[in-house]
Structure 1
Amino acid sequence: MSEFLLIHGSCHGAWCWHRVIPALAALGHSARAIDLPGHGRDRTPFDQVTLDSYAQAICTALDSPTIVVGHSMAGYPITAAAETDPTHISALVYLCAYAPVSGMTLGDMRRAGPHQPLAPAIRVNKDQGTFGFDPAQTNALFYHDCDAQAQTLATLCLTPQPIAPQETVLTLTQRSQSLPRHYIRCTDDRAIPPEYQAVMAGSVPAAHHTTLPASHSPFFACPDALAQRLHTIAQHSQAAT
């Protein structure tokens, strides 16, 4: 059995993992999800949310060897957590996520992509220092292969995304880069171009790069297949120790 900590992406919360947690349990694992500061049920004021506060929240949630999974923008927080304190992180898994490049912000990386599918849907609130997505476009961008129940849940639960953490430079060291790292690329992703994910997946060993035929939300579209992929990663991690 392995321990998993599941970290959501922009505008999401722990709620988005509700199908994956029991699927992992059925495979013999223990899985938890947390709300990052300012997301889900966490009421941290938006102007107090930082990349460091994301990292600290993840570190605080860890007390034993754990595989930490980051979806989308959470590639930055899980890496920042590993840079802060890798003691209880047994592996990092980037799920159609931004795998950080040292010296770049997440915003830098998004803008460096081959094209910008999210740009027409982004709505910035300068007074709050947040952004969100046009509700009329979210299903097409994030949930096009998900059922109506999942789409409705997202409509009800999506929250504004603080901008500051995504415009904070992360410097990489061996504290994070020496950990086992895996990348799961979603080949039908309409939010982060799959070809750009392939580039970012180049930061992990080739044997640790796999794919799922899913949208940007495999936790809704194919939770059992995602859990099975995480199970395989856990088996690989256990064999390596």
Structure 2
Amino acid sequence: MENPKHFVLVHGICNGAWCWYKLVTLLRHTSHRVTALDLGASGINSKQLHEITSVWDYVQPLMEFMASISHEERVILVGHSYGGLPISLAMESFPQKVLAAVFVTAYMPHYNSSPGVLIQEYFKGTPVESLLDCELKFGQNQENPLTSVVFGPQYMAEKLFQLCKPEDLELAKILVRPSGLFLEDFMTKECQLTEPKFGSVTKIFVVCEGDEVVKEEFQRWMIENGPTAQVILIREAGHMVMLSKPEQLCGCLCEVAEKIW
């Protein structure tokens, strides 16, 4: 391929780099470079959740990777679901190293408000009963903010992996890990995004029609509330689109790569 790009894939909560295995294979087949990262206490990262005391511990693998690449190199960041927040922090810290950012049915914040506001808006429209058998932990009691979550097998089967192959669901049941949400951290000044840095990066949003986790209505709301260079729709795609429709997602990313220099 002429002018191949370097994609950096960032997973959502409770998942890990493993969830990209189909997409990694397809992108490399098209001659693109691909790096799939495990965030703190995720995938095969050696840290445990109790060792992740802040969002900065959680995103440390991504930040270390971005710091390690040369100043001449520019990557395309791809964030899935909650992974949209870590890539946003990376965009703020390393805007000169980011060619574009792709939000795959992901949290896409705006520099006009703290990223934590987006988390609050999501949970306002998400009834607790819809989380089925997910294990939730709160600060002091259930009236305080949700601090961590781990997906339950029923939730994964009905909401996350319902359009995936059975073996992908079984793999997820083995590899899923609890994850923090870091709401309080995302409300602080340290996580504030700015127009000159975060705002300067080209943003593409991949809308997944039929997502039972991040509903299409919420995806469209984020797009309307933030400057997005391009919106791509994948029809009949569930939340784990990288596993249920990897060819279509690969095609979307290759389209982005061809348009951005």
Q: Same fold (TM over 0.5)?
A: yes
Cα distance in 1, alignment partners of residues 60 and 182 from structure 2: 16
* Paired-residue identity, %: 25
Q: Summarize the Cα distance change of 1:60–1:201 in structure 2 as closer, same or farther, 3 Å threshold.
A: same
Are residues 1:75 and 2:84 paired? yes
Cα distance in 2, alignment partners of residues 151 and 166 from structure 1: 31
Of 190-199 and 39-48, the range deviating more from structure 2: 39-48
In structure 2, what is the equivalent of residue 131 of structure 1? 149
Cα distance in 1, alignment partners of residues 129 and 185 from structure 2: 19
Are residues 1:60 and 2:64 paired? yes
| Superimposed CA distance per residue, residues 60-97 of structure 1 (whole angstroms, 9 cap, x where no aligned partner) | 22312100000000111100111122232111110000
Moved segments of 4+, more than 4 Å: 114-118
Alignment counterpart, residue 5 of structure 2, candidates 2, 6, 9: 2
* Gap runs ≥5 in structure 2: 140-146
In structure 1, what is the equivalent of residue 178 of structure 2? 160
Q: Summarize the Cα distance change of 1:199–1:35 in structure 2 as closer, same or farther, 3 Å threshold.
A: same
* TM-score for both structures, normalised by structure 1: 0.90
Are residues 1:204 and 2:227 paired? yes
| Superimposed CA distance per residue, residues 99-142 of structure 1 (whole angstroms, 9 cap, x where no aligned partner) | 11422415313224376785334312459x53112212211100
Cα distance in 1, alignment partners of residues 129 and 231 from structure 2: 23
Cα distance in 2, alignment partners of residues 197 and 116 from structure 1: 19
| Superimposed CA distance per residue, residues 146-166 of structure 1 (whole angstroms, 9 cap, x where no aligned partner) | 111111111111111123367
Residues 11 and 19, structure 2, Cα contact 8 Å, conserved in 1: yes
Amino acid at match of 1:182: I
Amino acid at match of 2:154: A
* TM-score for both structures, normalised by structure 2: 0.83
In structure 1, what is the equivalent of residue 49 of structure 2? 46
SS in 2 for 1:131: strand
Q: Which has the larger radius of gyration?
A: 2
* Gap runs ≥5 in structure 1: none
Cα distance in 2, alignment partners of residues 164 and 122 from structure 1: 17
Cα distance in 1, alignment partners of residues 223 and 59 from structure 2: 22
In structure 1, what is the equivalent of residue 192 of structure 2? 171
Are residues 1:142 and 2:160 paired? yes
C-alpha displacement of 1:19:
0.3
Residues 70 and 97, structure 1, Cα contact 8 Å, conserved in 2: yes
